[in-house]
Structure 1
Amino acid sequence: MDFRPSLRRTGSAATVVVAGLATVVQVAGPAAAAAPSLRTERVSVSSTGAQGDASTIVGDLSSNGRYVVFDSDSSGLVPGDTNETGDVFLRDRQTDTTTRLSVSAAGEQSNGSSGSPRISADGRYVTFISYASNLVAGGSRPEIGYDVYLLDRQDGTLDRISETPDGKPGDGDNFNPSISADGRYVAFETYASNLVPGVGAGNVVIYDRTTAQLSPVSVAADGTATGSGSFAPAISDNGRYVAFVSFSADLAPGDTNGVGDIYVRDLVAGTTVRASVSDDDHEIAGDSRGGEVSNNGRYVTFWSDDSTLVPGDSNGASDVFVRDLQAGTTRLVSTSTDGVPANSSSDQPSITANGRYVVFDSAATNLVAGDTNGVFDVFRKDLQTGTTTLVSRRTNGTQGDSDSVNPNVTPNGKIVAYGSDATNLTAGDTNGQTDLFVTKLLG
């Protein structure tokens, strides 16, 4: 099973498994001059700067942007990579070194594909999934599948966390881990039926590193676990809130639409609320995906192809939204600085811990002035000022010549990692692969 998202977006959530006024930001064209200060670098390279020979689509950042984790099938990023499968890597942007993380404590290469890494705020802990059976002792199981692992880079400890209290592996696959800032909590989706008593396959669970226990997340307000159909968790930095997608009709009253909705579970208060509702609190008919939640649990960003979330949504494409759970309002995020809705598909949002910035990708040409490349770009929306900024550019401001998608952002909103097919974001990009880039906005 390919757990990595496709680079190209369709604009329809149904096809994906998985303000004030300010000056419009000018965008440099192919030979443009002045542009807002930024610096773009390619990070899916070896310690010597050699290009990868396979694609890298998604990356995650430590809070200061120094460390970037990603998965790749490339065999040339580190010496001795001969397992011919996907591995998890870490790029240190300060020392310009790349190391492989998906190895056993003894340094043995994995015998199965690894991916979907996420990193803690300080870069110490990294969680990822792997099909390998040799990463930890007792890793093999009768039915080989994906497990979730947690690596402590400080002491080198690698633990399989998708297992029963007595150390037995899950009887189904596990995907999409999300880690809290301190590395204590890891939420993930599981298709195993034996990890948590009373919780069947197709649910979201959370691992507590301190207690080494798993608990259910995709539960109704009364604590009842859903039958199935919950996935794609995203945990808040403080580990209190988990946003996720669910097709279940049991999580909130009046859920009768039969589509994927965004929910937020407050693990302290024990409440579950639906976030993918319209500005006037009505249920929507379209699918929603990509939920993420701010640190205080107030702001939830997601994307949807439903046209009734906000008034005047007539572009016929997927859009990015933010739900204010405290005020009970839903806001369109994929707009230009002056509030004009995107004229094409927008998706894959990521929100900062304070809820101020949202980064997303979009094929729209009207979000910033001078966007003429006709491909998916990565943008940043400042929800406080309303400013929309084009992120996926070369350091001199030149637009990318192909799609850039799947952004993740640091807590301060200034450093963004994303995958791109563009060949002109940095010099010497000749490998013909999707690469991982990091852009730092200096202004």
Structure 2
Amino acid sequence: MRGTTSRVTTRRVRAALGAAVAVCAVTAALPGAAWAGPAGASGTAGTATVGVERISVAPDGTQGNGGSGAASITPDGRRVVFSSAARNLTPDGAAGNEAVFVRDQQTALTKRMGTYTPLQPPAISGNGAYVGYSLQWINDVRIRQYQVSSGGTASANCSAYSCDQPSLNGDGRYTALALLMRKPAPTNRQRVEVHDWNTGGVVTVASFEHTYPARPSISGDGRYVAYQDGAAKDVFVWDRTTGTSTGPVEGPATTASLLQLSDDGGTVVYLSGSDTHVRDLRSGTTLTVPGVKGLAIDPTGRHLLYAPDGTGGPSLVLRDLETGTDQVVSDRPATAGIDAVSTGGRDVVFQSAADDIVPGDTNGTSDVFVRHLF
């Protein structure tokens, strides 16, 4: 990628492959099964065409009662995870509180993932088989991970700590998360960890003496984890193979906040000032996209979803970083989160309360949409 090269230093962090940490252990295994189950809602399946499609719909494919939380889409564009307080997205209904749903666009099946209210937008594995989100559990915050096909669950039992900010790898085996002390402590107040749901192993990626957000983002194979030191406003990338963190990737003279790591772990996107920066970790070059707020990248790191600066124009735009060309995703007020773009920039998932994006939108609330660009 085009841009300037910034100086990179290496900091060694404490890492122990396969080491089990007692304060944040896996409490259940997730079985393997095919996509099926009674808690689903099937609409009319069809082949996606260029245009926009509402995802938060009722079982018969008609208007649902909305979807409010930031949504994520799998790299193949087949499955979308989002949160909603709607009662009519599945036959069994919702309890009226915010819940997490997965929509399979190939089968037009929507399933609810538990009855808990997510504290943050839910995450989905690259293959669409697992969903994870943080939830309040008495005095703690835990990560609950669901197998979409069977509804089987596993959770991170954090005891005196709270687990938050999950990021799932491609097959759902590894989850990167932030572990926070429930009460102030003089040291180790926050850790970034990677949990192996198959073996129960836990690896410590980094430790901080503060509780500013770390926002980890894991690569598809689980080898790399990008995270931020929220106090210093620096972004780092950890490598499981070497047990080291490289960075700050933005250089020593600039502050940054992490946006997302690409699926192959080779590209990291961060925000700094009023600009978005795309760092190629292999070549050491940085491409700057000035005056825009980056929201997500596709799994290859080539396509950037961003919100233009100012008002009066489109709210969401997708840029091909190799050609520099833009495509409008939404010209109505809209928002999007990380993992909102499928591979190659084919599909983009977003939320909007506008009532004229699709015909018949009369529910008066926010909905989840997917823009099929080609």
Q: TM-score higher than 0.5 here?
A: yes
Deviation at 1:76, TM superposition (A): 2.6
Q: Is residue 2:352 matched to residue 1:405?
A: no
Alignment of 1:233-272 (within 5 A): 233-247=216-230, 258=232, 260-272=233-245
Residue type at the aligned position of 1:294: S
Q: Is residue 2:330 matched to residue 1:360?
A: no
Structure 1 unmatched ranges of 5 or more: 1-18, 21-36, 103-108, 134-142, 164-168, 220-224, 249-257, 306-317, 334-340, 366-373, 393-398
In the alignment, the residues of structure 1 paired with residue 62 and residue 248 of structure 2 have an alpha-carbon distance, to the nearest angstrom, of 44
Compared CA separation, residues 115 and 325, structure 1 to 2 (3 A): closer
In the alignment, the residues of structure 2 paired with residue 76 and residue 145 of structure 1 have an alpha-carbon distance, to the nearest angstrom, of 30
In the alignment, the residues of structure 2 paired with residue 61 and residue 364 of structure 1 have an alpha-carbon distance, to the nearest angstrom, of 27
- Paired residue for 2:266? 298
- Paired residue for 2:346? 414
Q: Is residue 2:201 matched to residue 1:227?
A: no
Alignment of 1:108-257 (within 5 A): 109-110=115-116, 112-113=117-118, 116-131=121-136, 143-160=138-155, 162-163=156-157, 169-192=158-181, 200-217=188-205, 219=206, 225-228=207-210, 229-247=212-230
In the alignment, the residues of structure 2 paired with residue 204 and residue 386 of structure 1 have an alpha-carbon distance, to the nearest angstrom, of 35
Deviation at 1:272, TM superposition (A): 1.1
Q: Is residue 2:368 matched to residue 1:436?
A: yes
Compared CA separation, residues 406 and 212, structure 1 to 2 (3 A): same
In the alignment, the residues of structure 2 paired with residue 199 and residue 180 of structure 1 have an alpha-carbon distance, to the nearest angstrom, of 29
Native 8 Å contact 2:224 2:238 kept in 1: yes
Deviation at 1:438, TM superposition (A): 0.7
Higher strand share: 2
Compared CA separation, residues 404 and 247, structure 1 to 2 (3 A): closer
Native 8 Å contact 2:69 2:121 kept in 1: no
Native 8 Å contact 2:277 2:288 kept in 1: yes
Residue type at the aligned position of 1:387: T
Native 8 Å contact 1:51 1:77 kept in 2: no
In the alignment, the residues of structure 2 paired with residue 151 and residue 403 of structure 1 have an alpha-carbon distance, to the nearest angstrom, of 28
Native 8 Å contact 2:135 2:144 kept in 1: yes
Native 8 Å contact 1:203 1:226 kept in 2: yes
SS at match of 1:403: coil
Larger deviation: 382-391 or 115-124? Answer: 115-124
Deviation at 1:201, TM superposition (A): 3.3
Native 8 Å contact 2:66 2:368 kept in 1: no
Structure 2 unmatched ranges of 5 or more: 3-48
Aligned length: 324
In the alignment, the residues of structure 2 paired with residue 82 and residue 295 of structure 1 have an alpha-carbon distance, to the nearest angstrom, of 33
Alignment of 1:318-337 (within 5 A): 318-333=274-289
Compared CA separation, residues 199 and 425, structure 1 to 2 (3 A): farther
| TM-score (structure 1 length as normaliser) | 0.66
Residue type at the aligned position of 1:433: T
- Paired residue for 1:90? 102
Compared CA separation, residues 298 and 121, structure 1 to 2 (3 A): closer
In the alignment, the residues of structure 1 paired with residue 284 and residue 213 of structure 2 have an alpha-carbon distance, to the nearest angstrom, of 23
Native 8 Å contact 2:77 2:343 kept in 1: no
- Paired residue for 1:255? none
Deviation at 1:114, TM superposition (A): 6.0
Native 8 Å contact 1:70 1:115 kept in 2: no
CA RMSD of the aligned region, Å? Answer: 2.7
Q: Percent identity?
A: 29
Q: Is residue 2:325 matched to residue 1:387?
A: yes
Deviation at 1:199, TM superposition (A): 8.5
Alignment of 1:71-110 (within 5 A): 71-102=83-114, 109-110=115-116
- Paired residue for 1:311? none
Native 8 Å contact 1:174 1:191 kept in 2: yes
| TM-score (structure 2 length as normaliser) | 0.78
Native 8 Å contact 1:357 1:413 kept in 2: yes
Native 8 Å contact 1:360 1:378 kept in 2: yes
Deviation at 1:362, TM superposition (A): 2.6
Deviation at 1:426, TM superposition (A): 1.0
Residue type at the aligned position of 1:149: R
